[in-house]
Amino acid sequence: MELSALLTKKILAIIAIILCLVAVFVILYPANSTRPTESHQYIQNEISQVELVPEMRNIDTSTMDTTVQPGRDLYRFANGKWLDAHQFSKPEENDGESMESQVIFTNMTIRIMEKLEEKNAAGTLSENERKMYAFYLSGLKAEHWPAKNLSPIQFLLDDICRIKTKEDVQEVSVELTKYGIKPFFAFYADSDRQVPYFYTGYLALQGPGMPREFFYEKNENTREFESHYKSFIRFCLMEAGYPEDGLNEKVNAVYSISKSLKEKTKGKARKFTLSELQEKQAQKYPEPVFDWEKFPEQIGNREITTITVYDDQEIPVIESVLAKSSVEDLKAYMTFRTMSYYSAYAGGDYSAENFNHFSEIKGQIEREPWKNSVIQAEKVALADIVAEEFNDEYVSDEAIADAKYIGSRIREVIIAKVTNKSGLSEDGRREIIEKIQSMSINIARPEQYLDYSALTVDDSSYMTNILNSNYFHFYHGIMGIEKIGEFVDRQIWPVNSLSNSWHVYRANAVYISPLALQSPKYSVNADPAIKYAVLGRLIGHEIGHGLDYDGIYYNSDGLKPRCITESDYTVFKTDYEKFIRQYAIYEENNPLSVSTATAKDEIISDVYGFEAAYEAYKTAEPVSFASKDSTGYTGAQRFFIAYAQGMRESPVNEYNYYIRVLNPKYPTSACRVNGSLSSYGYMNFSSLS
């Protein structure tokens, strides 16, 4: 009995000691906080080099070239001295990107990391904060890795090596798609074109695997382009272990497949059942390689019964590549796509040495700093986590209220324009006004952020974090395929709020990025002329997309059947064609101009945005509009100058130009400013003199 009591006391004492140790551990290491090692060293080295842009309250007179007549070239008048100081050159020779929003966002995000560093040291990071902090730290640790580290993607390369048949090609290519590689097509969920309240699966053809291929596309039909592209293919295959013997043949085969998948088709958007997809292929290939009946199980969602293809001619293109290429050539192509996508994350020094292709073609810029690329990768990988931290740190309730008020005034102006527009039927006018009135204008913060609890992030491997993120977003992201068949949740934004501002036709909604509420573009304390000229113009531009050539087809519920009659559509189209003809005058002498035919939706939205912002400012702020301030300009004049300065972009960042040449929806800023003004007759207007 005494022995039993003694044992009981000992057991209780041991349990008490264990509980004490657990309590100490919990206090020192909270469950929601993991401490990445050596964090201070990496983070503080970057933070010490960051300066944020000062608050903007008025136009910047120091950048203006007043020798230029504003009625002839407002863009140059407002930005001439700044443009002269930032002529195209290599970044190390000129800091012309310092005013650009991408760099500003990078610096602001690094400042957030400083606070996360302090919370990490105190052990008070939330789980989302830990993930954001660990991802960034993993990227910084990778900057000076001297050798490649491809072990995280070795399982994908091994899967490709094990391919024996074309049935295996399908299975492995689908697996690669889950990790962001998309060798033949992208697959994702989006609201249904016919019933926009539910998600359906979408398929889109993928082009070449060259990183940032738009740098090369202007030379696509030249030997120079082919030479550089093939040298990159060769490098990727050799890094993956391909021997020199027979490598030229494989390089040529990969190049041929890439070109075939990049060919432009002119089909129509269409929803297919799986059996209809199979029949579509069989029209040209009686025994098609790709088995769409197996696709749902392979992709990981057996609920998929239909797939919407934006261009129905893309299906035969995919089948043609699979049917005509040998298994070994397809393996080489898939290896190339895997290596070209992931090897750039293998380490900064390795990446700089082997992936710095941009300087190889005359006139191209060098690669961006490694830390910038890490921030941009994190903006995609942890989009809503970064957005929530960014909003909490930099977006005030006052700024959102201000933006909503400006948006309401912009909406009123556009509704008034439609109300007074001649030639419309009463039914058509009512439909359009209802659409604009019900249009949701979302500012900076979504009602609900995406749940990242299923995503694993740590500070040990940058490439592994990229892999995990791609897989997470494929299934659980804003376009994750687990949503297919489910009701569309409008509380979560259907776009990455940190990448741009958007208009989504099928949601009848506008989404204004929190980046639009930052200096030098915006300040709560700014002159009203600047607020309306920059933020107001942006909101008006996005609302205007609802009435552009494509947007006018959608009604207030986001349904595709045209919300107005053919005769009403003609009223808008006639005006639009006049705008575009006038706009084209300002693009004729610009070597980086784009076709007005392909940029027409952006042109029309620019005109809506500019005019709505101007009229809203004039009616909402009549005293400011008519008054001169310390700059010596009236409010009306300050509006024009701020409009041009808000659209300013640096020639040093050739990305800003060539993305427009090759994605021709987006003209250059000079054309957008002067062209929009000319379209509505404001050029040579007396208020600019």
Instruction: List pLDDT tens digits, range 327-344.
Output: 999 999 999 999 988 887
Between the two ends of the chain, the Cα-to-Cα distance in Å is: 106
User: Is 571 within the bounds of a domain?
Assistant: no
CA max distance for the chain: 107
Residue 329 lies in domain: 151-345
The more confident residue out of 300 and 593 is 300
Instruction: List pLDDT tens digits, range 371-400.
Output: 888 888 999 999 999 999 999 999 999 999
Q: What is the pLDDT of residue 93?
A: 34
Q: What is the pLDDT of residue 157?
A: 96
Instruction: Answer yes or no: is pLDDT of 448 > 60.
Output: yes
C-beta of residue 648 within 8 angstroms of C-beta of residue 79: yes
Domain containing residue 247: CATH number: 1.10.1380.10
Instruction: Answer yes or no: is pLDDT of 368 > 80.
Output: no
- Record the tokens describing residue 604, joined without a space: 């029309």
**591 preceded by a cis bond (ω within 30 of 0):** no
Average pLDDT over residues 280-291: 84
Instruction: Answer yes or no: is pLDDT of 198 > 80.
Output: yes
Helix crossing, 600-620 with 537-544: angle to 10°?
130
Instruction: Answer yes or no: is pLDDT of 2 > 70.
Output: no
Instruction: Answer yes or no: is pLDDT of 429 > 90.
Output: yes
Q: What is the pLDDT of residue 642?
A: 94
Instruction: Answer yes or no: is pLDDT of 537 > 90.
Output: yes
Q: What is the pLDDT of residue 662?
A: 46
What is the β-pairing status of strands 199-205 and 306-309? parallel
C-beta of residue 578 within 8 angstroms of C-beta of residue 584: no
Q: Measured between alpha carbons, how far is 47 from 53 in angstroms, rounded to an integer?
A: 14
Instruction: Answer yes or no: is pLDDT of 639 > 70.
Output: yes
Tokens 């029309």, residue?
Answer: 604
The more confident residue out of 434 and 353 is 434
Helix crossing, 566-585 with 669-679: angle to 10°?
120
**1-7 own/partner pairs: CB under 8 Å, 24+ apart:** none
Instruction: List pLDDT tens digits, range 573-601.
Output: 888 888 777 777 665 555 445 556 667 88
Residue 361 is inside which H or E element, if any? none
* CA contacts within 13 A on the Cβ side of 568: 18
User: Is 488 within the bounds of a domain?
Assistant: no
Q: Which residues of 322-339 are buried (b: 16+ CB within 10 A; e: fewer)?
A: bbebeeebbbbbbbbbbb
Q: Measured between alpha carbons, how far is 52 from 530 in angstroms, rounded to an integer?
A: 20
Instruction: Answer yes or no: is pLDDT of 224 > 60.
Output: yes
Q: Is 20 exposed, middle or buried (0-12, 13-18, 19+ CB in 10 A)?
A: exposed
Residue 36 is inside which H or E element, if any? none
Average pLDDT over residues 243-252: 95
Q: What is the pLDDT of residue 50?
A: 47
Q: Measured between alpha carbons, how far is 564 from 570 in angstroms, rounded to an integer?
A: 10
User: Is 360 within the bounds of a domain?
Assistant: no
Most confident of 241-255, 494-508, 544-558: 241-255
Helix/strand/coil percent split, the chain, to 5: 60, 5, 35
Instruction: List pLDDT tens digits, range 615-627.
Output: 999 999 999 999 9
Please report, for the chain, how many H helices and E strands are present, in that order.
28, 7
What single-letter DSSP state applies at residue 358?
Answer: G
Instruction: List pLDDT tens digits, range 482-536.
Output: 999 999 988 889 888 887 899 999 899 999 999 999 988 899 999 999 999 999 9
C-beta of residue 408 within 8 angstroms of C-beta of residue 440: no
Least trusted range by pLDDT, from 91-95, 266-270, 527-531:
91-95
Strand partners, 203: 187, 309
C-beta of residue 317 within 8 angstroms of C-beta of residue 263: yes
Torsion 42-43-48-52 (CA) sign: positive
CB-based contacts of 179, cutoff 8 Å, min separation 6: 156, 467, 470, 471, 474
Instruction: List pLDDT tens digits, range 660-681.
Output: 444 455 667 887 888 777 766 5
Q: What is the pLDDT of residue 147?
A: 63
Q: What average pLDDT does the structure give for the chain? A: 81
Q: What is the pLDDT of residue 317?
A: 87
Percent of the chain with pLDDT over 70: 77
User: Is 306 within the bounds of a domain?
Assistant: yes
Residue among 582, 602, 589 nearest 659 (CA): 602
Number of C-beta neighbours around residue 57 at 10 A: 12
Instruction: Answer yes or no: is pLDDT of 462 > 80.
Output: yes
Total domains, the chain: 1
Q: Measured between alpha carbons, how far is 44 from 626 in angstroms, rounded to an integer?
A: 48
User: Is 128 within the bounds of a domain?
Assistant: no
User: Is 126 within the bounds of a domain?
Assistant: no
3-class DSSP state for residue 509?
strand
User: Is 183 within the bounds of a domain?
Assistant: yes
Instruction: List pLDDT tens digits, range 30-73.
Output: 444 444 445 445 444 444 444 556 677 899 999 999 999 888 88
Question: What string of DSSP letters covers 121-165?
Answer: HHT---HHHHHHHHHHHHHHHTTT--S---GGGHHHHHHHHT--S
Confidence grade of residue 636 (pLDDT, cut at 50, 70, 90): very high
Percent of the chain with pLDDT over 90: 50
Average pLDDT over residues 430-441: 95
Tokens 């993928």, residue?
Answer: 206
Q: Is 254 exposed, middle or buried (0-12, 13-18, 19+ CB in 10 A)?
A: buried
pTM: 0.85
Instruction: Answer yes or no: is pLDDT of 275 > 70.
Output: yes
User: Is 498 within the bounds of a domain?
Assistant: no
Q: What is the pLDDT of residue 91?
A: 37
Angstrom distances, CA of residue 662 to CA of 209, 357, 618, 685:
16, 18, 37, 34
Spacing of C-alpha 650 from chain mean position? 19
C-beta of residue 503 within 8 angstroms of C-beta of residue 546: yes
**80-85 own/partner pairs: CB under 8 Å, 24+ apart:** 82/648, 83/648, 83/651
